[in-house]
Chain A
Amino acid sequence: MTNTSSNSISSRRNPLNSATAAHLALMSNSPGPTYPMTNPMSNPPPAMLSGQTSAPYSRPTITTYLLNTSTSHASGSSARSAYNTSSSALSVNTSNKQSKLKTLKPKLPEYLADTSFAELYYNSNMERSNANILEKNPLENLALPTAWNVDDKCAHLNVDPDKLRVNYIGSGKYDTDAAAIRANYPMPPQCGLFYFEVDIISKGKDGFIGIGFCSKQVHLNRLPGWEPDSWGYHGDDGHSFCCSGTGRQYGPTFTTGDTVGCCLNFRDGTAFYTKNGKHLGVAFRDLKGVVLYPSIGLRTQGESVEVNFGHRNFKYAIEHYMKEEKARLWHAIDTKPMSPISSPLTSAPVSQASSETNLTATVHQLILSYLVHHGYSETAKAFSTDAVQPTQNDSNEMEGVESENPFLDLDKDIINRQRIRDAVLNGDIDCAIKLTNEFYPSVLPSNDDIYFRLRCRKFIEMMGLCAAMDVDDYIALQSDRESIEEVHGLVTSIKKKKISKRRRGVGSGLNGLGVIEAAMRFGQELQDDYRDDKREEIKKTLEETFSLLAYTDPRKSVVSYLLDPSVSQGKPPIPPLEKVYRQSSAVLNELARNGVGSSAFVNLRKDCLV
């Protein structure tokens, strides 16, 4: 126990603390709420940051956590860390370190480190310090309780300057002499679990000590648990009180020297206590729907307690409990049946088996479309061979399954689309048109604008070839991605990285003059077919395409971008896997913003990425 009297704290007051106090006094004048990360020094010199790493232990970080979080309640006198009591490390470097301290992110209690709350917390702080906004932001609610609120207590209590230790100073004769205090912030449900411990410094006369939590409205002249929206565990009888003056037998009594912990579980809306590191079982249920502040209450003379909101080690292994809770949630996620919606081909009711099949099929298709999208075509082939083969064997034995296997179709589909894409990329538009008509006969007839563009593309290819006649190493003949994307976007869109040997499709068998003649003839056809077309898009494209003719070297023309591979018109479509990731991230974020406690146990980056 780091149990020190207030006198010895004062005697260790050092310049660091005075500086802080002055700073905080300034800050407390600013209107509205201040935030843990409110940081007047947004761009610290690098030297300061690097110096930080050599600071003794992690104390400066922890101190920052306290310093920063207490800003909104600073009365100008105190923002001293509890750590001064157990270490003099901080008094070594003084004001210089103080500036460094402020540049650090506030540190979360260890057990929250892997939660999505942690990500949200640091991100919101970063956003804040970047944008330097002071207006109200829903994420301000991400602040955690870090100290008692000296402005939110009963007069019979006296709070040490560290804002962690509370002493009873009333007469302590009757129940009406009870006195309680609330923490500086409520417990945000999106942290999943919130845990704090209270050291019983002295049981005083009778040890009528209550430890618990309550809403903002609850009167503070009662012990926790005695009022509506108030819950508590009392030391004198070991009873738990749930919004009522009548308690029920819950745990052992507690007294001087004991450490009592209190944990709110926002996943399932329960709370439990610990005594000296031992779990005492669930005390309360159905806690959803109220904004709750940690609270303690004292009632007889000499009683004194000190809270630990996570800035030093807990007696109870809360990290372990956190892991168990996370495992419980993931078990629920894991066993939740996947609806057959993921595979539109099957309409069977969701059994465990078909749910797993669905999942596997979904994963495989997401991987395949991703691979194809990014042009990892060899991998796509290898994967579809690997992944499909065993299933194919099964299908032969299992009648009726064959036709439902989405891989077979998908696999064929990929190969077909790859062939079309390759043809376009090779500049062999005729072949692309032929293949498209063969595999997807409805595509071109119902999308005549694409057919038109393909033909324009062909003309451009031919013109490019004419221009290339003079330049041996002319390699500017690249594909117009738009037309490629258009064709493939109909089924799945494709982007290819490497383009090579493109000319064979157009140039084969034609000599120089022949090439030009053929191009002219084709251009004439194109003109004839679309001259009267009223569509703006078509008119414009046609105009652009033919303006190539006006230049002796089309590569230097204003429309030369038509020949440039780097011009990609229109947004490239997003592969579904990426969409799934974005959706996952956005949904989790919203869950947290909406205060859904279970969201804390899912950390997209840590749980779903490698």
Chain B
Amino acid sequence: MVEYKELFVGTSSQKKVVTKDEWVKKLSNVKIDKNDLNKLIMNYFVIEGYKDAAETFSQESGLSPSIDVDSIQDRMNIRNAIQNGNVEEAIERVNDLNPEILDTNPKLYFHLQQQRLIEYIREGKIAEALEFAQDELAPRGEENPEFLEELERTMALLAFDDTNVSPVGDLLHPSQRQRTASELNSAILISQSQEKDPKLPNMIKMLVWAQDELEEELSFPKVNNLITAELVEGNKTTANSDSNFLSK
């Protein structure tokens, strides 16, 4: 009869250590196809709306984009409009493209209106901001407690002169625009029956998650800096390794 060692079961006693040499060997055994990585990048360009990059990459790599490159242009215009703070233009363009997108996505529509409010506040147009909030956003907030909370958070921007110390200062950060733009981009892609999320960020997030999971089982060389992807020896990776890294 086969005897099953308790191999699966995390033995809490001592973590096994995988040395860098062993690990590098495992890494080199990973099969990888350049074409897969090229496709991964093309997928990112196409979904995120980097039209020029997609076209040039298609020429340089010989890989054809999975969709008509021209359809990227619409999404890119809309994204740029939001990232430049011109939410109204973005809304108009989306409605030109397909009015159903906003009609069928109340949450997205709320986020766009919220973004408009943020832009008013950013520009210091307080009167307009208040009026807009009362006319457009407050009625929606009454319908949905989730919206109300977000609206209140946004209005809190008005309470602070210095946005750097404001607890809601992140709303003025470029990433807030990026988030709104991405949400809209995804909605457009869904309306065109396209995949809405590029795969590459998944891989990064997955790696961050998977390394943390594995660290509970094993001590192994980790990639902490994802930009250089250099290996850091497992036994040197302690709980405060992050701060060590930063101070270097």
Tell whether B40 is near chain A: CB-to-CB under 8 Å.
yes
Tell whether B27 is near chain A: CB-to-CB under 8 Å.
yes
The answer for the CA separation of A354 and B170 in the assembled complex, in Å, is 9
User: Which chain B residues (87-121) contact chain A, with CB distance < 8 Å?
Assistant: none
* Contact across chains for B225 and A341 when beta carbons are under 8 A apart: yes
* Contact across chains for B227 and A342 when beta carbons are under 8 A apart: yes
* Contact across chains for B229 and A587 when beta carbons are under 8 A apart: no
* Contact across chains for B226 and A594 when beta carbons are under 8 A apart: no
Q: For B245, what are the chain A residues with a Cβ–Cβ distance below 8 Å?
A: 341, 344
- One of A62-70, A183-191, A320-328, A535-543 contacting the partner: A183-191
* Contact across chains for A141 and B8 when beta carbons are under 8 A apart: yes
* Contact across chains for A378 and B56 when beta carbons are under 8 A apart: yes
Tell whether A562 is near chain B: CB-to-CB under 8 Å.
no
* Contact across chains for A602 and B210 when beta carbons are under 8 A apart: yes
Shortest Cβ distance from residue A554 to the other chain B in the assembled complex, whole angstroms: 34
Known: A594-B217, A607-B206. A354 touches B199 (CB 8 A): no
* Contact across chains for B4 and A141 when beta carbons are under 8 A apart: yes
Known: A362-B226, A398-B174. A594 touches B56 (CB 8 A): no
The answer for the CA separation of A603 and B217 in the assembled complex, in Å, is 20
User: Which chain B residues (59-90) contact chain A, with CB distance < 8 Å?
Assistant: 59-61, 66, 76, 79-80, 83-84
Q: For B6, what are the chain A residues with a Cβ–Cβ distance below 8 Å?
A: 291
Q: For B148, what are the chain A residues with a Cβ–Cβ distance below 8 Å?
A: none
* Contact across chains for B225 and A376 when beta carbons are under 8 A apart: no
- Contact residue among A340, A351, A590 (Cβ-Cβ distance under 8 Å from B214): A590
* Contact across chains for A576 and B9 when beta carbons are under 8 A apart: no
Shortest Cβ distance from residue B122 to the other chain A in the assembled complex, whole angstroms: 7
- Contact residue among A185, A365, A390, A596 (Cβ-Cβ distance under 8 Å from B80): A390
Shortest Cβ distance from residue A486 to the other chain B in the assembled complex, whole angstroms: 18
Known: A356-B175, A580-B204, A591-B217. A190 touches B8 (CB 8 A): yes
* Contact across chains for A354 and B175 when beta carbons are under 8 A apart: yes
* Contact across chains for A608 and B210 when beta carbons are under 8 A apart: no
- One of B29-37, B130-138, B153-161 contacting the partner: B29-37
Known: A576-B227, A595-B9. A582 touches B175 (CB 8 A): no
Q: Is the interface of A mostly helix, strand, loop or mixed?
A: helix
The answer for the CA separation of A366 and B7 in the assembled complex, in Å, is 36
Residues 353-372 of A, flagged 1 when their CB comes within 8 A of B and 0 if not, give: 11011011011011101110
- One of A5-13, A76-84, A329-337, A510-518 contacting the partner: A329-337
Q: How many A-B residue pairs have CB under 8 A?
A: 256
Tell whether A585 is near chain B: CB-to-CB under 8 Å.
yes
Name which residue of chain B comes closest to A591, CB basis. Answer: B214
Tell whether A27 is near chain B: CB-to-CB under 8 Å.
no
Tell whether B152 is near chain A: CB-to-CB under 8 Å.
no
Residues 373-412 of A, flagged 1 when their CB comes within 8 A of B and 0 if not, give: 0101011011101110011011101101100000000000
Q: How large is the interface on B (under 10, 10 to 19, 20 to 34, 35 or more residues)?
A: 35 or more
Name which residue of chain B comes closest to A589, CB basis. Answer: B26
Residues 203-217 of B, flagged 1 when their CB comes within 8 A of A and 0 if not, give: 111111111111001
Residues 164-206 of B, flagged 1 when their CB comes within 8 A of A and 0 if not, give: 1000001011111111000000000000000000011111111
* Contact across chains for B176 and A376 when beta carbons are under 8 A apart: no
Tell whether A33 is near chain B: CB-to-CB under 8 Å.
yes
* Contact across chains for A394 and B210 when beta carbons are under 8 A apart: no
Tell whether A173 is near chain B: CB-to-CB under 8 Å.
no
- Contact residue among A188, A332, A586, A607 (Cβ-Cβ distance under 8 Å from B202): A607
Q: Is the interface of B mostly helix, strand, loop or mixed?
A: helix
Known: A383-B50, A596-B217. A363 touches B223 (CB 8 A): no
* Contact across chains for A594 and B218 when beta carbons are under 8 A apart: yes
Tell whether A216 is near chain B: CB-to-CB under 8 Å.
yes
* Contact across chains for B45 and A383 when beta carbons are under 8 A apart: yes
Q: For B217, what are the chain A residues with a Cβ–Cβ distance below 8 Å?
A: 590-591, 594, 596
* Contact across chains for A393 and B84 when beta carbons are under 8 A apart: yes
Known: A353-B170, A356-B178, A596-B213. A138 touches B7 (CB 8 A): yes
Tell whether A581 is near chain B: CB-to-CB under 8 Å.
yes
- Contact residue among A342, A394, A398 (Cβ-Cβ distance under 8 Å from B83): A394
* Contact across chains for A367 and B44 when beta carbons are under 8 A apart: yes
Name which residue of chain B comes closest to A335, CB basis. Answer: B205
* Contact across chains for B32 and A582 when beta carbons are under 8 A apart: yes
Tell whether B149 is near chain A: CB-to-CB under 8 Å.
no
Q: For A610, what are the chain B residues with a Cβ–Cβ distance below 8 Å?
A: 36, 39-40, 42-43, 66, 199
20 contacts between A and B (CB under 8 A): A189-B8, A289-B9, A289-B10, A338-B208, A341-B225, A341-B242, A343-B227, A356-B175, A359-B204, A366-B229, A382-B55, A393-B84, A577-B37, A582-B32, A583-B27, A585-B30, A586-B30, A596-B214, A608-B40, A610-B42
Q: A291-B9, A398-B172, A591-B214 are in contact. List 14 more A-B contacts (CB 8 A).
A: A140-B2, A341-B226, A356-B178, A356-B179, A357-B175, A360-B201, A391-B83, A398-B173, A579-B27, A583-B229, A588-B210, A590-B214, A599-B213, A610-B39
Closest 7 CB pairs of A and B: A595-B8, A579-B229, A394-B174, A390-B83, A576-B229, A383-B53, A608-B203
Q: B residues bordering A, Cβ < 8 Å? A: 1-2, 4-10, 18, 23, 26-28, 30, 32, 34, 36-37, 39-45, 50-53, 55-57, 59-61, 66, 76, 79-80, 83-84, 122, 164, 170, 172-179, 199-214, 217-218, 220, 223-231, 242, 245-246
